[in-house]
Structure 1
Amino acid sequence: MDERQLRILCELGELGSVTAVADALLVTPSAISQQLRLLQRSMPVPLTERQGRRLVLTDAGQALAGAAIEVESALARARHIVDAYVDRPDGSVSVAAFHSAAATLFPLLLRGLAGPGGPRLALADEDVEQEQFPRLTRDYDLVLAHRLAPAPDWPGTVAVTTLLREPLDVALPAGHPLTALPRLSPADVADQPWITVHDGFPLMATVEAIATAANRRLDIVHRINEFTVVAEAVAAGGGLALMPRWTTRPHPGVVLRPLTGIHARRHIDVLHRPERTARRAVRTVLTELHRAAAAIRDGDASD
């Protein structure tokens, strides 16, 4: 049995004919009769009987119709609770992000949503391989993920909105001879020692593209994922590295130079299960993320 069948049974008890019920519910009499037959098949006793030209409820049918009213009332209360939850502006919203996005966007998000009546944020850092980001949407309302522009799209099981298309620059120690050049090609940097991320993380594809374009294997001496640590290693003369232009803090001992000759850019995307944005609080946080990303891109974000 389902809610619609119970509603038809209640209407039949009041109106006394299939035709009257069909008129009330704006469907055909045959559709009403079919639903009554389906309901009857799930019951061990008759629910209706003929009294002259009228179709009336048996004692069992009346008992079920009475219970159906309670079910309908309970469902109405449940819908009201769900509607209130969905429309609640101060609901809790969980957001996960990889480290550099978290360091840049989380403070802007916290400041932008500060004050009474707004969403209650639950923030977490998640530094995972690229293919693992969609799985995080089971545990978080919104997931900030990164991928290189040529990489395959995210799977269709998640909804995606792009916050930033961020250039990747070459990081050099201050005073390095290559800082005299306004732009660097793969050939310029291929003979230098390199600091890269671990295998499986998005930036490795760009590092490999540098090697391919320069037609030589890079000398990878250190593997560090955290960009604040990378910056310290670059400043200390540990090698060159790729660093995002907008989502890493400037370091006094590090100089960034644009890379030419290859597509050196990454997408910062927000992933979520499609049903999550039915909630008003989640939509509010997503809007604030876009505002913060625009401020970063335009150079207006404050520290």
Structure 2
Amino acid sequence: MNERQLQILRELGELGSVTATAEALLMTPSAVSQQLRLLQRSVPVPLTERDGRRLVLTDAGEALARAAIEVETALAKARHTVEEFVDRPDADVSLAAFHSAAAAFFPLLVRGGTGPRRPRLALADEDVAQEHFPRLTRDYDLVLGHRLDHAPPWPDSVAASTLLREPLDVALPADHPLAAKRRLTPRDVADQPWITVHDGFPLMATIDAIGAAANRQLDIVHRINEFTVVAEVVAAGGGLALMPRWTTRPHPALAFRPLSGVHTRRHIDVLHRPERPARRAVRTVLRELHRAARTIRDRDAHARSGDTG
């Protein structure tokens, strides 16, 4: 039993013939008859009977036809509710991001997203290994994830678009001897102590590439995921680190130098289930994320242009 079959039964009760019902519903008479047979199989009592040349409803058929009106009314109300939900400009939108992206994007979204007809943001920080970002789309409308430039693409189960292709620079104390160079090579930095992220996080592949290019294993002394903490440890002389150029705040005691000889760039992507942008509020936040990305790139690239050469 389905909505279409109930609609056919209702029209048959009002019009009194299969032909007239078919014309009203833009169907063929054979299709109407087939649907009536399928409906009859799901009901233990006869729904129709012959009255001369006319096909009329039995008492059970009339009862079910009356119920069909209630079903159609309830479904119409449900569709209207869904349409209102999908089209609401001020609906809730949940957004998760890893720490450095959250620090860069969240303030811009909050400042630009106030008003009575604006999406209501629910923000969360989620610092996970790269392969876990797609799983977060079950719990959040939008997820900011990151991967290295040449890493495999995200799985087909999620949709993704790139917000930033962000360079990674070597962070070192401003008074470090290597800070005198405008660019560094893997051999320049291979004999230094290093601060890196934990295993499984995207930047580790670049750390491994630096060691491979220098033909030696890097001396990893600290593992810290939070870049604000990394910056303080580097400034204190705890080692060198790879840090994103645009989504980490400049530090007065640090110098940032580009690294030649290895791929040092990451993608910051926004991930979501394919159906989420059907909602107007989600589409609005997606547009605002791309606008915020342009602001971050232009503002921070200009701020650091003199420091990175």
> Does the 8 Å CA contact 1:292/1:301 hold for their aligned counterparts?
no
Once the two structures are superposed, the pairs formed by residues 71-110 of structure 1 within 5 Å of their partners are: 71-110=71-110
Which amino acid in structure 2 is aligned with residue 205 of structure 1? A
* In structure 1, C-alpha distance between the alignment counterparts of 2:112 and 2:161, rounded to whole Å: 20
Unaligned ranges ≥5, structure 1: none
Question: Which deviates further from its counterpart, 138-147 or 114-123?
Answer: 114-123
Q: Secondary structure at the match of 2:299?
A: coil
* In structure 1, C-alpha distance between the alignment counterparts of 2:301 and 2:189, rounded to whole Å: 31
Q: Which residue of 2 aligns with 1:66?
A: 66
Give the fraction of aligned pairs with identical amino acids, expressed as a percent: 79
* In structure 2, C-alpha distance between the alignment counterparts of 1:2 and 1:244, rounded to whole Å: 56
Once the two structures are superposed, the pairs formed by residues 124-273 of structure 1 within 5 Å of their partners are: 124-273=124-273
Q: 1:302 offset after TM fit, Å? A: 12
Q: 1:301 offset after TM fit, Å? A: 10
* In structure 1, C-alpha distance between the alignment counterparts of 2:29 and 2:178, rounded to whole Å: 83
* In structure 1, C-alpha distance between the alignment counterparts of 2:26 and 2:260, rounded to whole Å: 66
Q: Secondary structure at the match of 2:24?
A: helix
Q: Secondary structure at the match of 1:298?
A: helix
Deviation digits for residues 56-78 of structure 1, max 9, x if unmatched? 11110000000000000011011
| In the alignment, structure 1 residue 119 sits paired with structure 2 residue 119 | yes
* In structure 1, C-alpha distance between the alignment counterparts of 2:210 and 2:71, rounded to whole Å: 65
CA 1:289 to 1:126, structure 2 compared with 1: closer, same or farther past 3 Å?
A: same
Deviation digits for residues 87-135 of structure 1, max 9, x if unmatched? 1111111110000000010000001112222111110000011111111
* In structure 1, C-alpha distance between the alignment counterparts of 2:28 and 2:111, rounded to whole Å: 57
Unaligned ranges ≥5, structure 2: 304-309
Q: Secondary structure at the match of 2:230?
A: helix
Q: 1:300 offset after TM fit, Å? A: 7.2
Q: Which residue of 1 aligns with 2:13?
A: 13
> Does the 8 Å CA contact 2:99/2:126 hold for their aligned counterparts?
yes
Which amino acid in structure 1 is aligned with residue 154 of structure 2? W
* In structure 2, C-alpha distance between the alignment counterparts of 1:21 and 1:183, rounded to whole Å: 79
* In structure 1, C-alpha distance between the alignment counterparts of 2:50 and 2:187, rounded to whole Å: 92
Which amino acid in structure 2 is aligned with residue 131 of structure 1? E
Q: Which residue of 1 aligns with 2:49?
A: 49
> Does the 8 Å CA contact 2:246/2:300 hold for their aligned counterparts?
no
Question: Which deviates further from its counterpart, 16-25 or 222-231?
Answer: 16-25
Question: Which deviates further from its counterpart, 62-71 or 185-194?
Answer: 185-194
* In structure 1, C-alpha distance between the alignment counterparts of 2:31 and 2:289, rounded to whole Å: 49
Question: Which deviates further from its counterpart, 280-289 or 20-29?
Answer: 20-29
Moved over 3 A (4+): 300-303
Q: Secondary structure at the match of 2:143?
A: strand
Q: 1:277 offset after TM fit, Å? A: 1.0
Q: Which residue of 1 aligns with 2:307?
A: none
Question: Which deviates further from its counterpart, 108-117 or 3-12?
Answer: 108-117
* In structure 2, C-alpha distance between the alignment counterparts of 1:234 and 1:250, rounded to whole Å: 13
* In structure 1, C-alpha distance between the alignment counterparts of 2:114 and 2:59, rounded to whole Å: 60
Q: Secondary structure at the match of 2:162?
A: strand
> Does the 8 Å CA contact 1:95/1:122 hold for their aligned counterparts?
yes
Q: TM-score, normalised by structure 2?
A: 0.96
Which amino acid in structure 2 is aligned with residue 129 of structure 1? A
Q: Secondary structure at the match of 1:263?
A: coil
Which amino acid in structure 2 is aligned with residue 247 of structure 1? T
Q: TM-score, normalised by structure 1?
A: 0.98
* In structure 1, C-alpha distance between the alignment counterparts of 2:24 and 2:39, rounded to whole Å: 19
